[in-house]
Amino acid sequence: MVELVVLASGSRGNCTLVRAGRTAVLIDAGLSAKQIVERLAAVGQDPRGLAAILLTHEHIDHTRGVAVLARRFTVPVIANAATWQAAEVQLRDIPAGEFFVTGTRFTVGALEVTPFSIPHDAAEPVGFVIESEGMRVGYATDLGHVTRLVAARLAGCHALVFEANHDLEMLMSGPYPWATKQRVASRTGHLSNEHAAEFLPQVVGEETGHLVLAHLSETNNDPVLARATVETALAETGRTHVSLTTARQDRPAAAVRL
Ligand SMILES: [Zn+2]
Ligand SMILES: [Zn+2]
């Protein structure tokens, strides 16, 4: 069985657990190490049993707990060279890191991991496709727009974690300073509900059983609205078989099991 639990998602911290057989990895560790350990305990995962922390990019909401977890529980951190360099301050004192090359598949225990480029205002941000036991999980948040590469990588996944960051109208009429609004809505910022809804019917296929909407803004989005926007778009294209959930900032989302 392949299991996926979004332990936290949103602008205050992102962390997702993926496990298959005896292998467990985290995608990002953007909460404090203490909070991550608590959330791992809630889903029965010993942090000492983590095979790796895979990093999507260096932003603090993805890296806050990485150094402490890596040191305290001797967990290898795996990232591309540009992210390592950009995250140097957060990752200080970690014994020599492990690298992947974006676009090149690598293996962590029972998991085959393919990192792919996403458009976001970080050094070399990536999404991941993780395969095990014939099941494929796609993960992409923090992307300003959807590229052909993103669409190609996410097609055919059995479970998807995908960004629905903001409702465009809530963002524009909300409290963020103008420059921040521009940054979030830009082509290297974050995806809106509307963009997610436009894109997802292209990649949600017969085999896609689960879709988790992630990185929802607590200020500029509403989980009910995000879900309804995407659900309507999927229903319009006949894709009503997908189990759709929204990831939470304050607690782990329901586990997805494949
Ligand atoms: Zn980011
Ligand atoms: Zn982020």
pLDDT computed for residue 97 by the predictor: 73
The residue range of the domain holding 106 is 2-249
Runs of H (alpha helix) within 64-118: 66-73, 81-86
The length of the chain, given as a count of residues? 258
Residue 117 domain-assigned?
Answer: yes
List, as ranges, residues with CB under 5 A of the ion ligand 1: 59, 142
Q: How far is the CA of 59 from the centre of ligand 1 (A)?
A: 5
Residue 11 domain-assigned?
Answer: yes
Q: What percent of the chain has pLDDT over 90?
A: 96
Residue 95 domain-assigned?
Answer: yes
- 178, with CB counted inside 10 A (0-12, 13-18, 19+), is exposed
Total domain count for the chain? 1
Angle formed by the axes of helices 223-236 and 193-203, nearest 10°: 40
Q: Which pLDDT band, with edges at 50, 70 and 90, does 96 fall under?
A: low
Averaged pLDDT for residues 154-162: 97
Residue 16 domain-assigned?
Answer: yes
Q: How far is the CA of 181 from the centre of ligand 2 (A)?
A: 15
Please report which helix (H) or strand (E) contains residue 23, including its range.
strand 23-27
Q: How far is the CA of 215 from the centre of ligand 2 (A)?
A: 7
Q: Which ligand is nearest to the CA of 121?
A: 1
Q: How far is the CA of 95 from the centre of ligand 1 (A)?
A: 24
Residue 258 domain-assigned?
Answer: no
Angle formed by the axes of helices 33-42 and 66-73, nearest 10°: 70
Nearest in space to 166 (alpha carbons), one of 223, 236, 233, 232: 223
CATH number at residue 222: 3.60.15.10
For 171-223, the pLDDT digits (tens) are: 999 999 999 999 999 999 999 999 999 999 999 999 999 999 999 999 999 99
pTM: 0.97
Averaged pLDDT for residues 46-53: 97
Q: How far is the CA of 238 from the centre of ligand 2 (A)?
A: 31
Question: Is 49 a residue whose pLDDT tops 70?
Answer: yes
pLDDT computed for residue 199 by the predictor: 98
